[in-house]
Structure 1
Amino acid sequence: MSSVKQLIYGTIIHSLSLDKLHIIKNGLLGVDGNGKIVSLQEDVETEKLDSILEDLAEDSKFIRLSKWQFIMPGFIDTHTHAPQYANAGTGMDLPLLEWLDKYTFPLEQSFSSIEFAAKVYPRFVSHLLRNGTTTAVYYATIHLESSKYLAETVKGSGQRGFIGKVNMDRNSPEYYIENCNDSVLHTEEFVKYVLDLDAGQNLVQPIVTPRFAITCSEKLMIALADIAAKHDVPIQSHLSENTSEIAFVSKLFPDIKDYTSVYDHHRLLNHKTIMAHGVHLTNDERDLLKQRNVGISHCPNSNLALRSGVCNVRQLLRDGIKVGLGTDISGGGSKTILDAMRSASTASRVIAMRDGNEDHLKLSELVFLATMGGAELVNLQDIIGNFEVGKDFDALLIDPCAEGSPIDIFDIDDIGRVFEKFIFLGDDRNIIDVFVKGRRVSGI
């Protein structure tokens, strides 16, 4: 086992599909020096383990998990606004468009100052990692330099991230708006900067970010689509979050069929596109998203907090649309994907009670959305999301018995029940180690 640099023995839990949560007891997982999973064995007896350890290279690390500890894949946050972290937990009294004008745009303008960005971005990235988010899809602001700073911060933290400089050239406050030509030039510069910053490490990538159709002219959207195609980078925006937003888009584009078609008309929909929310999609819009292989980032906490609506995730999945989870700070108040999973469970139960013919999301589905579903949205399903051999080791070491743990374990419990308790009761106190590409990037 000379290629193995880390060997982990104990309970290993990951998603193989929406309906299959695989719990491996006495599992043995090997990681090489490049952070790739090179072996995964099940039901390894202690006697066999001893002989395996004898063959382990001297410079390799061996981790033996205790009875209730387990490892699971890192969480993937497919939609969050880094600058809005300064507002998290405040301003929950207004619906979306009014909320943007009163709270969000004034805050985001503050990021014209690198000094202000330096007070927020490092803290937010650190908190995400501490809460188990190994991959995050970020919105920054319209400001080029502070957007670069966010990319640098994510890279320096060791987190896997997609960073977007926001674009807005109309229907925005006078103090927070761009000239279309400047927006295009700065986005081109930003994309090149982040590509150079990553230097082939495949950890930090740029993502082209028209905020939403309301704040982007046709000229700007077309230019952004050209940039994304030229550099083969992903795209993110917002879609069908709020009924007032949908009505506004309809007035702006009276000759285009619907909100989703607006983006399609401007060549912004493809397999690398992530659209946040998708709460009020029509049948035709869902068909179009499926045809373009667009992913939806489900942000249930935000949808409820801003009174936007309740997204029918079961319908999206049934239609074959990719779905992941997002915290949507600061529309959502929590920085952890654990909260997004719990809110997604609640939202699905509301749909089930309201419609009567839908089933709520089960544990296996929630875990899939938080890991493999997110990996599919960022087109890294062959690299992260579970522990298949050949993938990168992006993982969390969970201890349900950690000091101060909110989880109690009783004689009736087994590891399956304890895992479920972590998903619905656990928090950062239970996350002992966080690994990205085999490297420990956070932990107690």
Structure 2
Amino acid sequence: MDSSVRSCSAVAFVYRGTFVHSTPQTPLQILEDALLGVDTRGKIAFIDKGGELQDLSQTFGFSPSKVIQLEDHEFFMPGMVDTHIHASQYSYAGTALDMPLLQWLNTYTFPVESRFKDLQFAHNVYTQVVKRTLRNGTTTACYFATIHTDSSLLLGRIAHDFGQRALVGKVCMDRNSSVKHYKETSQESENETYRFIKELLNQKYPLVKPVVTPRFAPSCSEALLTQLGAIAKNNNLHIQSHISENTEEVKLVKELFPDSESYTDVYHKSNLLTEKTVMAHGCHLSDKELVLFRETGTSLSHCPNSNFSLCSGVLNVRNVLNHKVKCGLGTDVAGGYSSSMLDAVRKALDASKVLTIQNPEHNTLTFEEVFRLATLGGSQALSLDDHTGNFEVGKDFDALRVNVAAPGGPIDLIQSDRPKNLLEKFLNLGDDRNIMEVFVAGRKGDPNSTQGS
């Protein structure tokens, strides 16, 4: 434990009990009887052993009597990071999963997303998805919105109002939409992207930032992709898109971009592969493409629920990690039917086991490794790991207080389990009823709240 970095701000609150998190070297680190202090800026001031209480209280100027004690069946874990979610698709989550990707987009997605020109409709949907994801323990979300600038700005405001850390993207697409009015010209997309970025940054939301968002290569001309690459580079912005989700899509990209060596090369030629880029899916990437991901610092968002639900493919995460490519988890609502990152954890484990069934020599992911993907791995994938992802001193306190034995919850404790077992039970069996408190940058929200504060 480390309390060597001293906060310059007063300590706002201190918790004592079990903390579980990941480090780059260790998928799961369990700190029992630990003390963690959060300063008035919402940053972690110290984390140390409980036996150091007196010294810490004198150093940081807090009263030992004010320390909040966790119960034996409680622990703190980092908030979960959803690296890929379509906020605009939340209205039909849990339905419409009877088609492969390209038909699914034209039949369900584009008609629904075209409705977000209506700001009242957008407000209703975006309020619900931010509330739900926070309640489910998602403290950071990387959102796709729609092509509509004003409703995309509204999503940013709602995330801010509820206190969620978010990257928000106005979708860009200038071709291949089945809905007549749900696409832009290249110039419109460029102009509106500039407006979206300028107006969102002008709000100076501390936790909400814009992300340049070409939908995916089949819906963007080469000219538009190149424009978006330049916008992201000139403004040092995050980038998000999709890649190699299903085989039909990969074939279409080859037809649309015959001069590109691969799907990855399409984005690379447009300067869209950077250390601040996250690409969703990647089920059918070649090893050569993964090498390019590593060389450019590009990340992958693993969305196993969606990959199963749309029968797209099974990403070999072990191979991604072996290539030293950054990787996090995504719910991919509504291709994925659940907005809970706990579901993403479970489906990621299932996907890895499917690969082991197919090839017994496959090295199955452990639950500890998937826990890291859902927390620190996600923050690394979004290039936010300087701010969040684990309980390092100086980082923002993004955290979940978990009660495995919550009254009326889904978990029955039969015996006295160690913290590792409690975490595994929560990841496999738990839900929002087990999440007693949600903190983002030290600010506590009510996971059962009906409105933003």
TM-score normalized by the length of structure 2: 0.94
1:186 aligns with 2:203: no
CA contact (8 A) 1:13 1:71 kept: yes
- Residue matched to 2:451: none
Q: Which residue of 2 aligns with 1:198?
A: 204
Structure 2 unpaired stretches of 5+: 1-6, 449-453
Distance 2:34 2:397 in 1: 15
Structure 1: distance between partners of 2:388 and 2:279: 20
Question: Do the aligned partners of 1:85 and 1:329 also contact (CA within 8 Å) in 2?
Answer: yes
1:94-138 deviation per Cα after TM superposition (whole angstroms, max 9, x unaligned): 000000011110000010100110110011101000010000000
- Partner in structure 1 of residue 4 of structure 2: none
Q: Which amino acid aligns with 1:7?
A: V
Q: Does 1:123 align with 2:128?
A: yes
CA distance in 1, matches of 2:170, 2:55: 52
How far the C-alpha of 1:441 sits from its partner, in A, is 2.1
1:7 is aligned to: 14
Q: Secondary structure at the match of 1:443?
A: coil
Find 1:39's aligned residue among 35, 46, 66. 46
Deviations 1:123-165 (A, max 9, x none): 1101000010000000000011111111111111111000000
> Secondary structure at 2:23's aligned position in 1?
strand
Task: Report the 3-state secondary structure (helix = DSSP H, G, I; strand = E; otherwise coil) of the residue aligned with 1:198.
Answer: coil
Does structure 2 retain, via aligned residues, the 8 Å contact 1:140–1:163? yes
For residue 87 of structure 1, report the CA deviation from its aligned partner.
0.8
Match of 1:149 among 154, 157, 177: 154
Q: 1:285 and 1:430, CA in 2 relative to 1: closer, same or farther beyond 3 A?
A: same
Alpha carbons of structure 1 residues 334 and 61: separation in structure 2 relative to 1, 3 Å: farther
The match for 1:23 among 23, 30, 49 is: 30
Whole-angstrom CA distance in 2 between matches of 1:292 and 1:53: 45
Q: Distance in 1 between matches of 2:150 and 2:141?
A: 20
Quick one: distance in 2 between partners of 1:98 and 1:20? Answer: 38
The yes-or-no answer on 1:175 pairing with 2:181 is: yes
Alignment match of 1:113 (pick from 115, 118, 136): 118
Deviations 1:44-93 (A, max 9, x none): 24xx6478668854799632101111000000000000010001000010
Partner SS for 1:192: helix
Deviations 1:397-439 (A, max 9, x none): 0001112111111225222111110010000000000001100
The 3 A distance-change label for structure 1 pair 142 and 59 is farther
The separation in 1 between residues aligned to 2:66 and 2:106, in whole angstroms, is 52
Give the match for residue 279 of structure 2: 275
Maintained 8 Å contact 1:396/1:432: yes
Q: CA deviation at 1:194?
A: 1.4
Residue from 403, 406, 414 that aligns with 2:418: 414
Query: Matched residues, percent identical?
Result: 47
Equivalent-residue separation in structure 2 for 1:83 and 1:131 (angstroms) = 18
User: Which residue identity lines up with residue 196 of structure 1 in the other structure?
Assistant: N
Shift of 1:356: 2.3
Matched residue SS, 2:83: strand
Q: Distance in 2 between matches of 1:384 and 1:428?
A: 21
Displacement of 1:355: 2.1
Query: Which amino acid letter does the alignment assign opposite residue 265 of structure 1?
Result: K
Aligned partners of 1:5 and 1:59 also within 8 Å: no
**Counterpart Cα distance in 2 of 1:191 and 1:368:** 31
Residues 55-64 or 26-35, more deviating: 55-64
1:384 aligns to 2:391 (yes or no): no
Distance 2:154 2:415 in 1: 50
Distance in 2 (CA, whole Å) between partners of 1:415 and 1:148 is 41
The structural deviation recorded for 1:290 is 1.0
What's the counterpart of residue 405 of structure 2? 401
Of 356, 360, 364 in structure 2, the residue corresponding to residue 360 of structure 1 is 364
Whole-angstrom CA distance in 2 between matches of 1:261 and 1:197? 35
Matched residue of 1:92: which SS? Answer: coil
Offset, 1:442:
2.8
Counterpart contact for 1:7–1:60, Cα < 8 Å: no
What is the total number of aligned residue pairs between the two structures?
439
Residue 216 of structure 2 corresponds to residue 212 of structure 1: yes
Write the distance in 1 (CA, Å) between the matches of 2:446 and 2:289. Answer: 40
State the SS of the aligned residue for 1:161.
strand
Aligned AA (1:294): T
* Structure 1 residue ranges without an equivalent (≥5): none
Paired with 2:369 and 2:314, the residues of 1 have a C-alpha distance of 18
Partner of 1:135: 140
The letter of the residue matching 2:161 is G
Give 2:292's aligned residue.
288
Q: Is the 8 A contact 1:18 1:365 kept in 2?
A: no
TM-score, normalised with respect to structure 1 = 0.96
Give me the whole-angstrom Cα distance separating, in 1, the residues matched to 2:128 and 2:415.
40
Structure 1 distance, partners of 2:76, 2:416, is 22
Query: Following the alignment from structure 1 to structure 2, what is the Cα–Cα distance between the partners of residues 176 and 3?
Result: 51
Inter-partner Cα distance in structure 2 for 1:61 and 1:370: 32
2:70 to 65, 70, 76: 65
C-alpha spacing 1:172/1:61, structure 2 compared with 1 (3 Å): farther
CA distance in 2, matches of 1:237, 1:89: 22
Q: Distance in 2 between matches of 1:353 and 1:325?
A: 22
After TM superposition, list the pairs within 5 Å mapping 1:237-252 onto structure 2.
237-252=241-256
Q: Take 2:324 and 2:181, find their aligned partners in 1: how far apart are those partners? A: 41
Whether contact under 8 Å (2:53, 2:64) holds in the other structure is no
Q: Whole-Å Cα distance in 1 between the matches of residues 424 and 373 of structure 2?
A: 15
Is the 8 Å Cα contact of residues 27 and 371 (structure 2) preserved in structure 1? no
Cα pair distance change 1:163/1:250, threshold 3 Å: same
Give the deviation of 1:233 after TM superposition: 0.4
CA distance in 1, matches of 2:393, 2:256: 49
